[in-house]
Structures are given as C-alpha cells and as structure tokens.
Amino acid sequence: MSDTTGTPLVEMKDIRIAFGGVQAVDGVSINLHAGEVVGLLGHNGAGKSTLIKILSGAYQMDSGEIRINGEKATITSPRDARDYNIETIYQTLALADNLDAPANLFLGRELVTPLGFVDDDKMEAETRKIMARLNPNFKKIKEPVSALSGGQRQSVAIARAVYFNAQILIMDEPTAALGVHETKMVADLIQELKAQGLGIFLISHDTREMLELCDRVSVMKNGQLVGTERVEDVTEDDILSMIILGKNPREAA
C-alpha cells in the first residue's frame, strides 16, 4: 500500500466550475499521493471528466485551489499541466485522426533534428519501441489513426501519456474500448506505473475493476463529491449505493 500520510502529490480543494447554468463541478476536494491510484466513479454527467480536465488544463476552474507537491499550482492551459508532469488520456482520446501514431504520440512535443525540422524517423522508431511494450500486436504505425480500431486508438492515447515520464497520470475511461486481453494489459500497466511511484487518477464505470485497481475511490453525483473511501473499507454494494443514492452509507452508519 502506498504511503498516504505525507504531502499529497496533488490536492484539489473546493473546485467549482459552471457551464452556463450547469454547475458541473460543485465544491469538490480530492487528493492523490505518489504511488497511489485514486478512482473516480459516478453516473454519466456527474462531473468526473470536467474535474480532471481542470487538472489537465483543458478547462479553467471558476474557484478553488490546486496544489502540487504542496505548492500552489497555476494551470491555465494543457501546456502548464505538462510542465507539472501531468499527462492525460482523455475520454475522447484527443487524437488527430488524419495523422499517424508517431505524429499523435509526439504532438506538441515533436522530436526535431539539429536543424529544427521534425524528425519523423526518430519519432517512428520511438513509437515502435513503446508500442512493442504496450501492445505488441500494434502494427499500423504509419497509417492515419482514423484507420485504426477503437482499441488501437486507445493504445495510441495510452502510449502518449506513458511515454513522457509523467508523475501524475489521468486516465479517463482508458479501457472503454478495449478487449479482455488489452484491458488486462492496461491493468498490469497501471500496477507497474504505480510501483514506479506515479500518482494516477482513474475514471471508469466498472466498479469491480475499480476496486481491484484503486487504493481509494471517490464518488461524484451531480457535480458534488459523495465521498472518498479506501477500497478495503467498502464493498461493491456500498459503492453502488453511493453512486445511485448519492449518500455515503458509512457516514450514515
């Protein structure tokens, strides 16, 4: 088990954001320690993706505070988030369909030659290396990602997040399109990265999978945090009732 007593890697405090009249995230506080996997659960539209998009720089919060390694962090763009070694696998995957896997993997961070030109061959070689590790069946390196299956696209997005030695990894439903075998590989990958000391936010609708992979789970409903529990303290039914009823049975008890 990871050490959850020291300074958290990430602290998000009292985060709020509204879109028009919709309060998508309403005063949520969560934290994440190094070597820990924190799961986010909740019904569709609960605000999970919105919350982590604030951390990844895609959205800017209306109010709240983010601390990284105990220091106040200002994240106003995806670039800022990258500077804090935050990598994200978005639910939508965020791939440019017309480009091939290497171009997507290195998008925004291209490898360049000494003359400043993009080094496609080097990027292709690096992509082959990481893909050989993550998904040995992946062969369509040079094809536009629009020609890939949903699962293959997902492995490109995962490779992109893993390649750059993130400290904080955000995975928004990373296994949604994956087959049994590939899902197992992602689970192994999460264990491996966790052992390396990364902090991981994981979003998924698969409660059982979450209980296996996560150290703690946080449940959201209608933009608010229902509760955060250590997985060994709760049963699958507890979690389900938190999601459905929006009440923490342990608090009621």
Ligand X SMILES: Nc1ncnc2c1ncn2[C@@H]1O[C@H](COP(=O)(O)OP(=O)(O)OP(=O)(O)O)[C@@H](O)[C@H]1O
Is residue 144 within the footprint of another protein (CB under 8 A)?
yes
Selection from 164, 155, 95, 152 nearest residue 126 by Cα? 164
Q: Answer whether 216's CB lies under 8 Å from 234's CB.
A: no
The DSSP H or E segment spanning 102 is helix 101-105
Measured from the CB atom, is 92 or 113 closer to ligand X?
Answer: 92
Distance CA 82, CA 125 (A): 23
Measured from the CB atom, is 44 or 165 closer to ligand X?
Answer: 44
Q: What are phi and psi of 194, to 5 degrees?
A: -60, -45
Distance CA 154, CA 172 (A): 11
Output DSSP code: residue 139: -
Selection from 242, 182, 233, 181 nearest residue 207 by Cα? 242
Measured from the CB atom, is 22 or 94 closer to another protein?
Answer: 94
Measured from the CB atom, is 38 or 103 closer to ligand X?
Answer: 38
Is residue 46 within the footprint of ligand X (CB under 6 A)?
yes
Distance CA 190, CA 181 (A): 14
Is residue 49 within the footprint of Mg ion (CB under 5 A)?
yes
x/- mask, another protein, residues 63-102, rule CB under 8 A, reads --------------xxx--x-----x-x-xxxxxxxx---
Is residue 206 within the footprint of Mg ion (CB under 5 A)?
no
x/- mask, Mg ion, residues 67-96, rule CB under 5 A, reads ------------------------x-----
Beta bridge partners of 32: 10
Output the smallest distance, CB 171 to another protein, in A.
14
Is residue 174 within the footprint of ligand X (CB under 6 A)?
no
x/- mask, ligand X, residues 79-118, rule CB under 6 A, reads ------------x---------------------------
3-state secondary structure of 186: helix
C-alpha distances (whole Å) from 209 to each of 2, 84, 186, 202, 212 are 19, 28, 11, 11, 5
Distance CA 233, CA 38 (A): 14
Measured from the CB atom, is 124 or 215 closer to another protein?
Answer: 124
Measured from the CB atom, is 18 or 99 closer to ligand X?
Answer: 18
Interface ranges with another protein (CB under 8 A): 56, 58, 77-79, 82, 88, 90, 92-99, 103-104, 107-110, 112, 116-118, 121-122, 124-125, 144, 146-147
Interface ranges with ligand X (CB under 6 A): 19, 22, 24, 42, 44-50, 91
